[in-house]
Structure 1
Amino acid sequence: MKNSIALKEERAEVLAKLEEIKDLATSESRDLTDDENVNVDAFLSSIDKIDTKIERAEKVEESLKRAATLSSAIGNNEVKEERKMTSSFKLSKALNQYVDGKLDGVEAEMHQEAKRNNPGFTGLALPTSVLAEKRANPQLVSNADELIATEVFDWMGTLQARLVMGDLATFISGLSSNVQLPVLSGTTAGWGTEVADATKAATDVGGSTLVPHKLGSYMDISKMLMAQTSGNIEAIIREDMNNAIAAALENAILSDSDGSGASPLGVFDQAGQSIAGGTMTLAKILEMESDIATNNAEGTCYITSPLGRSLLKALVGNPGITGSETGYGQPLWRDDNTMNGYFARATSNISDVCTAGGAATSGGDESGIVFGQWRDLVVGQFGSALDVVVDPYSQSISGEIRIVINSFWDTAFRRANSFCRGSLK
């Protein structure tokens, strides 16, 4: 079905043909011929039919416009209601009531909705939005006709802020099934004459598939703390739960896991480049950078352990580059947490018992270090809620409740040669 604009353009073309016949007869000071009368009648009939179509098209378009406006209003109302419920949700109340087996109110409603959307959960189904830090978002609709001071609950953003590579890697949330990440490789090009065959691309499509791995993290909370109703206590519980998940996730990402077991892939297994272990030198740092650059990647950040950072801060040399000195007359690891012009970060989730070159993250005596183009690390989170098991028994002798938080994650390294691992001591 043509829209009203297209039909009006069609009508204008027919009118132009009528105008041509009239102008010709007028210029020759005569009446219309028999053939011209037949054409005029046909054109007038065509215009009547087009007018009917235009009227119908305009009615359809107006109906669709009203429906879209109504749908948008309904959608905005649903968003408002969801945010209102999230704001009203009390985590401490939900945990206490779940222990007693009598959830009610907003907490019961959100638990039931989360269980419907995430079948298979066995504990308290906790929507991820309730663990998110609140941030102001004054605009509710895209055209800014309606400005409302709302609060946005971005749990993934909250979690990323606790990860040393949180603002560097690529995060995907709310996955519901396995996801393949295609990677193109082997593309070639070549010059030829005007009629020569194009060079065969020899492009391979590879890539990893994100598959859910269960991440179980836990925290113990005092029953006396749970009995408090202060808003600050609520924030403390949320903070501890987020920290528990972030620490376990970061530990897996910075491990040497090959993904065959319970843990997802770790960077020390996946890194396609490596340097020798032992005493760190400027030459080795430059080697890490050049190894990645040679593979058409641009490193964004060094990550090592706190011990590795102290060793790099101790690497100070006089002006003039040598194999064992920085050549800058300053520590290699600067006070602004950069190293050789790149970001540099430290976390205790990098092992200090790596074997030489970071080949393994246990069984050695060296601190691991990784340099990479971190956006090629993809971290996927599955589901829209967390499965929280509230255990009031195992820690009862110490007056605590154990909260086990089950979430589902996977990692993928889209290009192994975007990462270089090493070790130092």
Structure 2
Amino acid sequence: MLESVKINRRQSEIRQALSGLVGKEKPSEDETRQMSDLDNEYRSNETRYRAALVAEDEQRQDAKGELETRSDREYADLIGKFEMRQVALALDEGRPLEGATAEIVQEMRSKGGYRGFPVPWQALEVRAGETVASGTPDPIQTRPIIDRLFPDSVAARMGAQMINIDSGAVEWPVVTSSVTAGWANGETGNVAGPAVFATTDRALKPEHNLGIQMRITRKALKQSGDALEQAVRRDMNGAIAVELDRAVFQGSGTNGQPLGVITGAATYGITSTDAGAMATWSALRAAVVRFMTGNAAGSPGAVRSLIRPELWALLDDTLIDGTAVSEWDRLLKNIPAGNIAMSANALPAPSGDPLETQALLTTAAGGVAPIFVGTWGGVDLIRDPYSDAQSGGLRLTALTTVDVTVARPAQLELITGLELEAGE
């Protein structure tokens, strides 16, 4: 602690002590002597305080940059201490929130309306010590508010950016003009005429509400203890992540769902190419070439690919004549394995005769994500006090508002008609 702060606190203590002594009409000799000593100490501290401020000026200048960014780090630290268990017990027993959890809930309530308890998105991340299908994530990694969905989310691996919005609709202007350069024809010739610099607004609107329900029995509430924290987080994380992945790519745009990237390819203006042949690396390579010739990607390594497990099985089983190299090996030689996401949830099941599947390619151009996923506030956790009252259970409903839009259609390419079997 800075010396000036210590002195300032001591001055406050002296003033408080003096206020109690001067109020007495007939102070004793000891009290009179104490007032004199406190007065002398106060005067001496004033001189020390001014000297400390001068001496600490250089320290304050050095710490200026750190102080400007400290608030974000402090909030991230608070998020790490958020306890879902406290929210569950508050809903079930009316137990008051404490510590970081209470502070975060109060902060979120001040920025938006919630019927139940607001839960920040970051609190749904699976934390250290919890077993998940893909392993244990690194607990040291800090995720900012505008970053990614969940660590294993297909949407996140395909480059989608999660945008957190307090309230209202938000538009993101994206450059869509085709301004070109031109040379002057001769010494007195003019250069190319002015071209329009155009932008297109990609709007995210709070019109789509996603909800999940969970039932917690009385036995679970009494038996689990701290384990309830991990159980609730895992269930909410899994349910929301799976449905978000499906909606981002296959949302119908009707019945309350947002319009997904694949379902709404024509609406978003995404190029869709029918391969009309057996699935090979060559069919995917043609789409990568279109990315590169359109200046959307600088190399195959900048492209991300979303495929179904059935396509992987076929490519891995298809060997090039006279070699032990498969079509999958050729794919990995050009597109890094970390850029390939396999999902039976985000892509529709193979269909048709012969059986055909699809693949989606994306790339981030100029730092702009190909897909925007907007979320409004946090997760609104509401208790139903009636449905399970007879058994003493707790029923929770988690509500969140989400929307999806595409930044530049040129950053996405949908390939259809990838045949998984030879036609008759």
Shorter-chain TM band:
0.5 to 0.7
Identity within the alignment, %: 18
Alpha-carbon distance in structure 1 between the residues aligned to 2:326 and 2:387: 49
Instruction: Look up the match of 1:131.
Output: 124
Alpha-carbon distance in structure 1 between the residues aligned to 2:274 and 2:391: 48
Query: Which of 95, 98, 101 is the equivalent residue of 1:105?
Result: 98
Shift of 1:303: 0.9
Q: Cα gap change, 1:392/1:365 in structure 2, threshold over 3 Å: closer, same or farther?
A: farther
Deviates more, 1:240-249 or 1:229-238: 229-238
Q: Cα gap change, 1:317/1:77 in structure 2, threshold over 3 Å: closer, same or farther?
A: closer
Shift of 1:73: 8.6
CA contact (8 A) 2:361 2:413 kept: yes
Alpha-carbon distance in structure 1 between the residues aligned to 2:65 and 2:295: 45
Instruction: Look up the match of 2:321.
Output: 318
Q: Are 1:284 and 2:280 matched, yes or no?
A: no
1:404-423 equivalence runs, <5 A:
404-421=397-414, 422-423=416-417
Shift of 1:378: 2.9
Instruction: Look up the match of 1:180.
Output: 172
Query: Which of 150, 159, 162 is the equivalent residue of 2:152?
Result: 162
Shift of 1:196: 3.3
Query: Which of 234, 241, 247 is the equivalent residue of 1:246?
Result: 241
Unaligned runs of 5+ in 2: 1-54, 129-139
Alpha-carbon distance in structure 2 between the residues aligned to 1:285 and 1:414: 22
**Partner AA of 1:220 in structure 2:** M
- Runs of 4+ more than 6 Å apart: 64-77, 395-400
Instruction: Look up the match of 2:307.
Output: 304
CA contact (8 A) 1:368 1:423 kept: yes
Q: Cα gap change, 1:240/1:188 in structure 2, threshold over 3 Å: closer, same or farther?
A: same
Instruction: Look up the match of 1:35.
Output: none
Q: Cα gap change, 1:296/1:78 in structure 2, threshold over 3 Å: closer, same or farther?
A: closer
Shift of 1:365: 5.7
Q: Are 1:189 and 2:181 matched, yes or no?
A: yes
CA contact (8 A) 2:388 2:395 kept: yes
CA contact (8 A) 2:272 2:413 kept: yes
Shift of 1:174: 2.7
Alpha-carbon distance in structure 1 between the residues aligned to 2:197 and 2:143: 42
Instruction: Look up the match of 2:345.
Output: 349
Structure number with greater Rg is: 1
* SS of corresponding position for 1:297: coil
Alpha-carbon distance in structure 2 between the residues aligned to 1:118 and 1:131: 19
* SS of corresponding position for 1:251: helix
**Partner AA of 2:262 in structure 1:** V
CA contact (8 A) 1:352 1:366 kept: no
* SS of corresponding position for 1:275: strand
Residues 223-280 of structure 1, C-alpha deviations (whole Å, 9 max, x = no match): 2334345544423322322222221211112216458953144234233232234632
Alpha-carbon distance in structure 2 between the residues aligned to 1:117 and 1:82: 15
Shift of 1:346: 0.5
* SS of corresponding position for 1:245: helix
* SS of corresponding position for 1:276: strand
Alpha-carbon distance in structure 2 between the residues aligned to 1:351 and 1:382: 22
CA contact (8 A) 1:317 1:330 kept: yes
* SS of corresponding position for 2:289: helix
Q: Are 1:92 and 2:85 matched, yes or no?
A: yes
Shift of 1:163: 1.2
**Partner AA of 1:332 in structure 2:** E
Q: Cα gap change, 1:262/1:399 in structure 2, threshold over 3 Å: closer, same or farther?
A: same
Shift of 1:91: 0.9
Alpha-carbon distance in structure 2 between the residues aligned to 1:99 and 1:329: 61
Instruction: Look up the match of 2:357.
Output: 367
Unaligned runs of 5+ in 1: 1-61, 136-149, 320-327, 357-362
* SS of corresponding position for 2:250: coil
CA contact (8 A) 1:169 1:378 kept: yes
CA contact (8 A) 1:162 1:243 kept: no
**Partner AA of 1:234 in structure 2:** E
Alpha-carbon distance in structure 1 between the residues aligned to 2:67 and 2:89: 34
**Partner AA of 1:243 in structure 2:** G
Count of matched residue pairs: 336
Instruction: Look up the match of 1:267.
Output: 262
Alpha-carbon distance in structure 1 between the residues aligned to 2:145 and 2:224: 23
Deviates more, 1:161-170 or 1:395-404: 395-404
**Partner AA of 1:347 in structure 2:** S
**Partner AA of 2:248 in structure 1:** I
Shift of 1:93: 2.4
Instruction: Look up the match of 1:12.
Output: none
Shift of 1:295: 2.4
1:15-34 equivalence runs, <5 A:
none
Alpha-carbon distance in structure 2 between the residues aligned to 1:205 and 1:158: 25
Q: Cα gap change, 1:312/1:394 in structure 2, threshold over 3 Å: closer, same or farther?
A: farther
Deviates more, 1:84-93 or 1:296-305: 84-93
Residues 123-148 of structure 1, C-alpha deviations (whole Å, 9 max, x = no match): 2211334334569xxxxxxxxxxxxx
Residues 368-425 of structure 1, C-alpha deviations (whole Å, 9 max, x = no match): 2112215642323334422122336556799864433222333332221322222433
Instruction: Look up the match of 2:380.
Output: 387
Alpha-carbon distance in structure 2 between the residues aligned to 1:307 and 1:365: 10
Shift of 1:198: 3.0
* SS of corresponding position for 1:338: helix
Shift of 1:95: 1.4
Shift of 1:89: 3.5
Shift of 1:347: 0.9
Alpha-carbon distance in structure 1 between the residues aligned to 2:273 and 2:80: 48
**TM-score if structure 1 supplies the norm length?**
0.64
**TM-score if structure 2 supplies the norm length?**
0.64
Q: Cα gap change, 1:354/1:82 in structure 2, threshold over 3 Å: closer, same or farther?
A: same
Q: Cα gap change, 1:263/1:290 in structure 2, threshold over 3 Å: closer, same or farther?
A: same
1:144-163 equivalence runs, <5 A:
152=142, 154=144, 159-163=149-153
